Structures are given as structure tokens and as C-alpha cells.
Structure 1
Amino acid sequence: MAQKKSKSINISQFINVHKLCLDNELDVFNKEQIQKWREIKRPSINRVGLEIIGHFEHDDIDKNIIGFGTKESTLMNTIPREELENNLKKIFEYLPPLIICSSGVSENNKKLILKHANNTETPVVFVDTKLSFITTTVGIYIAENFAPEDFVHGSLVIINGVGVLIIGDSGVGKSEAVLELIQRGHMFVSDDSVIIKRIGNSFIGVSPEITKNILEARGLGLINIKSIYGEKSVKDKTNIDLVIELKKDENTNFDRLGNENYFYNVLNGKIKKILIPIKLGRNTASLIEVATSLYISKKDGVDAFQQIQERIKNEQ
């Protein structure tokens, strides 16, 4: 079951770890004025165009990052100074956790925003980029932190650009197969357990922090993949595109023709799944590679089963 819990992100943590894909970390311009860092409680960035002109229709300004961009700056220039001051005062009285001003905000309006921010000990960040870019990059980061999540027993690798979650009963050989896949040049994300987060219709897999970069192989113990195979052999997270389930059960009805549709259900959604029978003497890593290639091939419109069906029709 998905873990439902109330989440928040402390602004101090957010500032320290997030870089907006820029060359330098976010820097709070008025950090000396801040006595206590607030919490982000909603996974979005609010734009306050209505509030700038005096329409306060919601009371969640205290829960979201507030973004000021070109539109907001232009709107501020159309409002009489006294009215604008009153409206900005009301906005900041909600105590928003953070203000981000983009490159589209004029210097005069930045000074006005900073004035009210200092009066309410609200941190302000000035960035030299468009607000749409900030909204996208910050939005992804926040969405991942607030996304519903579940813990799954399995291993996660990236094979030819495809995020593959490998599941199966304990002792079926998941970790050994993953180790061989890494030796073949594929990328490692997590072993034994995977945190899955759902954002829209996408599923993102990450490793629990305590086992990050670590793989356990029977007879060998714990292996630090990054230190042995290099930084290019690991990745912090990946979209999960395909689930491969390794099965020992001889009574399982496996897909012989490749025309069955199996799915892995997680977080009220589903991911394409392929069942692979495990028998003595079979190379599991090779089978996983081939299964992933078949998945890619079908996405590209090449389906061997359909080709056989068409050939049968043509011969009739």
C-alpha cells in the first residue's frame, strides 16, 4: 500500500540541495533577516496576479512558494502605489515560505517586494532566468518530494535507456543478475528495495539512502558499485518503464508467443510487466536484456507475434 503521510519541505533544506540546473546554488538575498525557516506544504509554485490587484480568493499563500515574473511585474506597474503597497502587505502577511523573483521583475519592483519580505521575515531569491523555467525545474523537485510513494522488494537498473524493475521471490537470483548487467555496461540504481514515487502517469524509482550504490551478492557480501565500477555505472533515480518478474514456479503459465499483456500494479497505476521463468543453466541477465529489447522493439512498432499473424493471413 502507498504510504500516505503529511509532507513538507523546510526552506533551509530546499535552498541547500536544489540548484535549479544553474551554475550556483540558490542564495537567499535577505538571509540576515530570517530568524526561522518556514515549510513548503504544497507541491506547486503560486503566482499571485489576482492578489496583486486585490482579489484574495484563497488562503493557501502560506503553503506554497510564490513566484514573481514578467507578468506580475508588469501588473504591479499598472496599480497606484498606495493600493499596490496594501495588496503586497496582505500577501506577505500570509507568511509565504519563499519568494522567487525571476529576471522579468524590474529593479524597482524587486526593491518593493524585498521591503515587504523583510517586514515579515520572508526569504527572497533573485534568479537570472525566466519564471517558466523556474516553475518547471522547481516544480519537478517539489512534486517528487510530495508524490505518493511505496517501498517494493526488488532491484532497479537502466538497460539501454529503459528503467527496469526486477522483482521475484527471495533467492531467485535478482542481485546476481543485476551484477552481471552492470558488468555488461548497464546502470545500477538500487538493490533489494526500491522506493517508487508516482507523478501523474509516470513512476520514478530511487534507492533508499541507507543502501544507495550498495548491492548484496550471495557469497560476496556487500559491494559498493560506484567505487568498483565507477561513477558512470550508477544513477540516483530513473523512470520505471518495465517490470520483469523472475519466477521459479514450474506451474506458472508463461507467455510463449509474446502476445500476453501483464501489468504490475502499484500506487493505483500499472506498469508493463514481463514474466521470465528461471531454470538451472539459463543466463538470467541475458534473458532480462532480451526482454528489455523486445519491449523497446514493440514500442517502435516491431512485434514478431503480429508479423506471424500477418504471414498466416497472407498464406490463406
Structure 2
Amino acid sequence: MYEKGLKVTDFVSFFGLEVLNRGSDYETALLTITDVNRPGLQFHDFYDYFDPRRLQVIGKAEVTYLKSLTEEQRRKCFDDLFLYDIPALVISRGLDCFPECLESAVEHEKTILRTEETTVDFTSHAIEYLNRALAPCVTRHGVLLDIYGEGVMITGDSGVGKSETAIELIMRGHRLVADDAVELRRISNQLIGTAPEVIRHYIELRGIGVIDVRQLFGMRTVKTESQLDLIVHLEPWDQTKFYDRLGIEDHFTEIMDVKVPIVTIPVRPGRNLASIVEVAALNNRHRRYGYNAAQELARRVDQRADAGSRRQDD
């Protein structure tokens, strides 16, 4: 998880970029902006609203323009750009690096990278990757599973039966995403959950210990990440508490300003929690597509009551 930014070295490793020059901050520079910049306007000496924190990318259009300039003009373009504290300059399409660019980068100790991808492909891939890597992230205690295509996070106090319910769901063909610690990232207006790398695919069962779900049940039972669509909160049955029996109203909780549906399931001996969680996942999908069984039942009851009232009036 990246709290303050993504290291340029990690970005280079992920995209397999060629390093033409290592700047003085190559090992420490961070990418903190989810956007990139093509410095065409800057080469025309227009630096208003220029954000030096963005990754700089030049492609065929910029190179073609720079070729029309003299060596002195090109050197000035790069000198002016490298006066700013940019994280790196990326040359796309595998294009040759101008000698003036390399000389200026060496003098100003700036990083120059190169990719074989086209400018459009590289910028779109880079923005997508940065949006994920730099997304706001929180960790929640629970078990995240993919159930019928719904991302369901089971929460509750320690020992309430989260992991046991998860194992039963896994044996029914559903997939584990994360156990114990669920990392949630907000991407656009969605929450994407995954497991910390060190505990990925592992689940703890009291009395048995830690098991590797992927090794024990196969690759089909695990998933790297899932959107969070529903939270199922398990709690011990409380005789003094009123539990919703109709479910007409939807209940939500907010995580990083994103509203997530939540249902509370009381736990007591004899209840098949795995089946209840499966039904909750299917019911949540139906509601998201506009069908609410409780509201439909209420509508039918109201229609029957209205019809009976009319017959009495007649």
C-alpha cells in the first residue's frame, strides 16, 4: 500500500521502462499525481498552470516539433523543463533521445525513461495504474468473498463465525478474496477490496490453524480482488433487540464517502449462515437491478386491502 506516493523505481519495474539517465532522486522520487502531462505547451515557453509533480511524456508530435528547432532552441526547451522538480521524463514509441535532452538531463540530474508503447497506449495504461496505486486506502477487519459475482464482506466480532462461514461458502464454489484484513481502495466511486500480499489466500480456522485455500481447494476458489457490493455483519442473537423481518428499507454504511449496503444477521445455533449469506448476496443483486421483494409484497398486501375496502363500500 502506497501512503504518500508511488516510487518511480516501482513504476519503471512495472512497465519495464528503459532508463536512459538516472536522476539524483531516481531512487527516492515519488509519483503523487494520477495524471500525466505532455509538455507541448511548455516547449512553447508556456508554464502557466504547469504541475511539475506529474509524469512528463513526449511522443511523436513533440519530437516532430523539436526536430524543427535548432540545437540551441531544443536545449533551451529541455533546460527550462528540467528546472522544475519533475519526477521523470518518458519518451514513447522507442524514439531516439535528443543529445540536447540527454545533456540537459545529466546537467540537471533528471531521470529520462523510454517505452516502446505508443504515446496514447502508455498514457492510458499509466493513468489506470496510477489511479489504482494512489487510490485512498483503508483496512477493515473481515472476510471478503466473491459470491455469485457479488463482492460480499463478512464482518463481526472475533469468534462469531466469519471464517467458518467463509470456508463453507468456499466449499460451495465461491471464491475467497481476503481474510482477517481487507484492504479497500476507492477507485472512481467504487470500493475495490484485496488482501495484503503476505496473507493472500490464507484463512485462519480456530482449532485447526492457518490454511492455504489456494493449495487446499485449488485456484478456482481464490480471487485477487473484488468490488465491495455488500457487507454482511454477524452478531450474537440478542433477545432484546428487534431484527428487521421484512427488509423494506435498505440500510447503508459509508466507507471513504462511498455508501455500501449492509445487512445484520443474528447468529445462534441451528442457523445455516452460509446459506443466509448466499441469499443476501443474491437479494442484494436483485435490489441493485430494481427489484425489492419486500416492497413487492407490501404492494400486493396494499392492493388486497384496497380491493377489500372497495367491496365493503359497494
State the TM-score, normalized to the length of structure 1: 0.83
Amino acid at match of 1:138: A
SS in 1 for 2:82: helix
Does structure 1 conserve the Cα–Cα contact (< 8 Å) formed by 2:71 and 2:100?
no
Residue 242 of structure 2 is aligned to residue 253 of structure 1: yes
Does structure 1 conserve the Cα–Cα contact (< 8 Å) formed by 2:144 and 2:153?
yes
SS in 1 for 2:122: helix
Does structure 1 conserve the Cα–Cα contact (< 8 Å) formed by 2:75 and 2:101?
no
Aligned to 2:174: 186
Instruction: Select 1:291's aligned residue among 248, 266, 280.
Output: 280
Cα deviation 1:78-133 (Å, max 9, x = unaligned): 76664443122211232422223333x8x467676555445544444433434343
Residue 254 of structure 2 is aligned to residue 265 of structure 1: yes
Q: For residues 269 and 299 of structure 1, what CA distance do their matches in structure 2 show?
A: 15
Cα RMSD between the aligned structures? 2.8
Does structure 2 conserve the Cα–Cα contact (< 8 Å) formed by 1:148 and 1:197?
yes
Query: Cα offset for 1:300?
Result: 2.3
Does structure 1 conserve the Cα–Cα contact (< 8 Å) formed by 2:8 and 2:31?
no
Amino acid at match of 2:83: E
Q: For residues 112 and 81 of structure 2, what CA distance do their matches in structure 1 show?
A: 14
Instruction: Select 1:40's aligned residue among 30, 34, 40.
Output: 30
Does structure 2 conserve the Cα–Cα contact (< 8 Å) formed by 1:43 and 1:139?
no
SS in 1 for 2:232: strand
Instruction: Select 1:53's aligned residue among 21, 40, 44.
Output: 44
SS in 2 for 1:30: strand
Query: Cα offset for 1:144?
Result: 2.9
Q: How many residue pairs align between the two structures?
A: 302
Identity of counterpart residues, as a percentage?
A: 29
> Structure 2 matches for 1:132-151, cutoff 5 A?
132-151=120-139
State the TM-score, normalized to the length of structure 2: 0.83
Give 5+ residue unaligned stretches, structure 2. 308-314
Amino acid at match of 1:89: D
SS in 2 for 1:57: coil
1:82/1:204 CA distance change after superposition, 3 Å: same
Cα deviation 1:186-225 (Å, max 9, x = unaligned): 1111111212222332112221233222100111100111
Instruction: Select 2:17's aligned residue among 18, 24, 27.
Output: 27
Aligned to 1:225: 213
SS in 1 for 2:18: coil
Q: For residues 194 and 110 of structure 1, what CA distance do their matches in structure 2 show?
A: 47
Query: Cα offset for 1:55?
Result: 0.9
Aligned to 2:311: none
Q: For residues 266 and 55 of structure 1, what CA distance do their matches in structure 2 show?
A: 41
Residue 297 of structure 2 is aligned to residue 308 of structure 1: yes
SS in 2 for 1:197: strand
Does structure 1 conserve the Cα–Cα contact (< 8 Å) formed by 2:142 and 2:154?
yes
Amino acid at match of 1:292: A
Amino acid at match of 1:10: K
Larger gyration radius, structure 1 or structure 2? 2
Q: For residues 259 and 72 of structure 1, what CA distance do their matches in structure 2 show?
A: 59
Cα deviation 1:115-171 (Å, max 9, x = unaligned): 544554444443343434333332232233322222211111111222111111111
Aligned to 1:281: 270
Q: For residues 68 and 124 of structure 2, what CA distance do their matches in structure 1 show?
A: 28
> Structure 2 matches for 1:79-90, cutoff 5 A?
82-90=72-80
Amino acid at match of 1:168: G
SS in 2 for 1:276: strand
